[in-house]
Amino acid sequence: LWKPRVDVVFVKLLGKPLGFKTMKEKLKSTWKLGGEFDLIDVRNGFFIVKFDHAVDKSKVVENDPWMIFDHYLSIRPWMPDFVSSEARIERTMVWVRFPNLGLEYYDESILPALTSTVGKPLKVDTMTMDVVRGRFAQVCAELELARLVVGKVWFRNHWFKVEYEGLHLLCSKCRCYGHLSRAGED
Q: What is the reported pLDDT for 184?
A: 41
Q: What is the reported pLDDT for 179?
A: 54
Q: What is the reported pLDDT for 35?
A: 94
In degrees and rounded to multiples of 5, residue 31 shows phi and psi of -80, -35
DSSP secondary structure code for residue 103 in this structure: G
Nearest Cα residue to 114 out of 133, 132, 128: 128
Residue 52 falls in which region: left (phi positive, over 0), alpha (psi -120 to 50) or beta = alpha
Q: Output b/e per residue, 132-152; b: 16+ Cβ within 10 A.
A: eeeebbbbbbebebeeebeee
The pLDDT tens digits along the chain (186 residues) read: 456 567 899 999 888 889 999 999 999 999 999 999 999 999 889 999 999 999 999 999 988 789 898 888 989 888 888 888 888 888 888 899 999 888 999 998 999 999 999 999 999 998 888 888 888 999 999 988 777 778 899 888 989 999 988 766 555 455 555 555 544 444
- Asked if residues 142 and 93 have their Cβ atoms less than 8 Å apart, the reply is yes
Q: What is the reported pLDDT for 185?
A: 44
Q: What is the reported pLDDT for 132?
A: 86
pTM assigned to the model: 0.74
Q: What is the reported pLDDT for 112?
A: 94
In degrees and rounded to multiples of 5, residue 77 shows phi and psi of -65, 160
Q: Which helix (H) or strand (E) holds 95?
A: strand 91-99
Q: How far, in Å, CA of 113 to CA of 109, rounded? A: 7
In degrees and rounded to multiples of 5, residue 8 shows phi and psi of -130, 140
